[in-house]
Amino acid sequence: MSTNRIRLRGAPEPLPAGETILWQGAPNWMALAHRAFHVRHVAVYFGALLIWRVTATLADGGPVTAAAISALWILLPALAAVGLLSVLAWLFAATTRYTITSRRVVMQIGVALPTIINIPFRRVAAAAFKTYTNGSGDIPLETLGGEQIAYLLLWPHVRPWRFTRPEPMLRAVPDAAWVAEILARAAAAETRPAAEPSTSGGSTSQTSDRVAAVAAA
């Protein structure tokens, strides 16, 4: 089976002729749990609350058994909260597929309501790139004008705090530097014909600037 006949997960038809898949992947669920669902912050909060509760009980002269019981009342909801957030992160990661083709970025997202979002390279104004110590990272895409996708529909695959102009984001991607390079090369190759100088000797088109922004991300 040739590359251009590979079906995107959840898509009814194969890719158009001439379009090839360059990369497919999904978020690292543990990285997604830390950075989108803030599991670590929740655990630290409950840990501090537990220490304070035990210390306060002992300082008031309460027995060790009373301190243990008071700690248990905090430990149980803490485990439930961390466990629930971790499961949600795993579900979001398991139901997500990011695809970079020779012409676009495709985001297949959604747990209860699966959605396919197509972002042609010619609609990408700029791309950013942020990596973390474990090699995973985030790649937000700033899109040009037109219809904007709702922030809540994109979450957690969206750049934080960009509510008025939401930026779709490949989030918690493993080997993010490599993925960003694939994206930059593909975007540059797709937009290069439109970036050539005009025959009248004018300046390069705006597409050239957009490609430069993506490649530099």
The strand order across the sheet containing 115-120 reads: 21-25, 97-101, 104-109, 115-120
First to last CA, the chain: 33
Using a pLDDT cut of 70, give the percent of the chain over it: 82
pLDDT of the residue at 209: 44
pLDDT score of 1 more than 60: no
Q: What pLDDT, in 10s, does the model give residues 159-213? A: 999 998 999 999 999 999 999 999 999 999 887 654 444 333 333 334 334 434 4
**Identity of the highest mean pLDDT range in 15-19, 68-72, 99-103:** 99-103
Q: What pLDDT, in 10s, does the model give residues 25-70? A: 999 999 999 999 999 999 999 999 999 989 988 888 888 888 888 8
pLDDT of the residue at 32: 96
- Nearest alpha carbon to residue 158 among 142, 144, 174: 142
Residue 143 pairs in a beta bridge with: 124
pLDDT of the residue at 83: 97
pLDDT of the residue at 195: 44
For 142, list phi and psi in degrees, rounded to 5.
-85, 120
Average pLDDT of the residues of the chain: 83
